[in-house]
Amino acid sequence: MTDELTITGIECYGHHGVFDFEKRDGQVFVIDLTLGVDTLLAAASDDLQDTVDYGSLVGAVRAAVERDPVDLIETLAQRIADVCLLDSRVEWVRVTVHKPDAPIEATFSDVALTITRANGGRDK
């Protein structure tokens, strides 16, 4: 059984989308992460080296969103999951990419895609 570390509402500015104006002008993306990690060692040692440094992780996730535009949030979500899984202590990750300003001709609150990926495999 793993513990869960959750970070929600990471605001990033990216140039992702299928339309030229999305790539040109960019927009806000909001990222939620839940990581499956064993926190027993960190709880016992009280040492940051024994756990996932979520401050550094957020910086890496923001950098992943802010670089190299892609067409689909599916591609972006996978990129973010790959960044999270670089730390071998992360057993699995659930990534939600929110695109609140998606170009949709209707009133809506949000567009969001959630994926779950595991270290050593695609799905949890």
Just list the catalytic residues.
99
What kind and span of H or E run contains 90? Answer: strand 90-98
- DSSP string across 15-52: --SSSHHHHHH-EEEEEEEEEEE--HHHHHH--GGGS-
What is the C-alpha separation between 36 and 5, in angstroms, rounded? 7
What is the C-alpha separation between 111 and 100, in angstroms, rounded? 6
With CA atoms as reference, report the closest residue to 111 among 82, 73, 67: 73
